[in-house]
Amino acid sequence: MRYAHVCYRVFDLDRAIEFYCGALGFLELKRFPIRDEAINVFVAPAGSEDTPLELTYNFDRDEPYEIGTGYGHIALNVEDLDGTLERLAAIGIEPERPPYQVREGGSRLCFVRDPDGYRIELVEKPAA
């Protein structure tokens, strides 16, 4: 068994793609229409194309989805957390709180939210 992908249902496909492909620099890998019901757009960071994020947009949806209390987040490793946060701030995306470490000497991290409210953890590994 092998991990395949994660799926999010998104309310505004253009905003979601702008966030993931524009703000975070993901690659758009492929689009699959599902009859006249929906479209799936697969995106992934460079180097992670074999485990993409599936953004599903349902054509008949007229209100945002409820995320629920069971969802946690996805985590992305970044080389330069401060630089990433500066790029995101320039387009109006702010972290939930300033970067922090869970334990001394551990990774620096912080959380941002995508246009649909899904939490994204940005993790900067400590220098070796």
Residues with a known catalytic role = 121
Q: Which two tokens stand for residue 12?
A: 């505004």
Contact 56, 37 (CB under 8 A): no
Ramachandran bin of 93, using left for φ above 0, alpha for ψ from -120 to 50, beta for the remaining angles = beta
